[in-house]
Amino acid sequence: MSNRPSPAASPAARRSVKDLQLGEAGTICCLEDPEMALKLLEMGCIPGVQVRLNSRAPLGCPITLVVGDMADYTLSLRVSEAATILLK
């Protein structure tokens, strides 16, 4: 399993967690930044897992995500970190 986006995906078609609207969900496809990938994997951001945007701070950063099927597990991320999590 690769943490890199497929070459067939055009930059315009790629969508990241930072692009989600409040309440919208998506399934993690891959992690774009190799340096950030280990941290995100350890926090549960694994390819194939569904995430839902739970809230966004008044100035836009940070955001909170509900990760997986566990509604009680929320994760707070900087928008720059969320931008490295690509969705299917």
**Is residue 3 domain-resident?**
no
- Specify if 10 maps to a domain: no
Q: Structurally, how many domains does the chain consist of?
A: 1
Note down the domain range covering 50: 15-87
Supply the CATH number for residue 39's domain: 2.30.30.90
Percentage of the chain beyond pLDDT 90 is: 76
- Alpha-carbon distance of 83 to 75, in angstroms, equals 14
What pTM does this model have? 0.81
Helices (H) and strands (E) in the chain, counts: 2, 6
pLDDT at site 77: 96
The pair of three-digit structure tokens given for residue 70, joined into one six-digit string = 């566990």
> Mean pLDDT in the chain?
88
Which tokens in the block code for residue 9?
């995906």
Domain membership flag for residue 22: yes
CA 24 to chain centre: 12
Band of residue 3 on the pLDDT scale cut at 50, 70, 90: low
More confident position, 11 or 71: 71
58 versus 3: the higher-pLDDT residue is 58
Evaluate whether residue 35 is within a structural domain.
yes
**Per-residue CA distances from 15 to 29, 55, 58, 83 (Å):** 10, 18, 22, 9
Q: Is residue 40, in this structure, part of any structural domain at all?
A: yes
6 belongs to a structural domain:
no
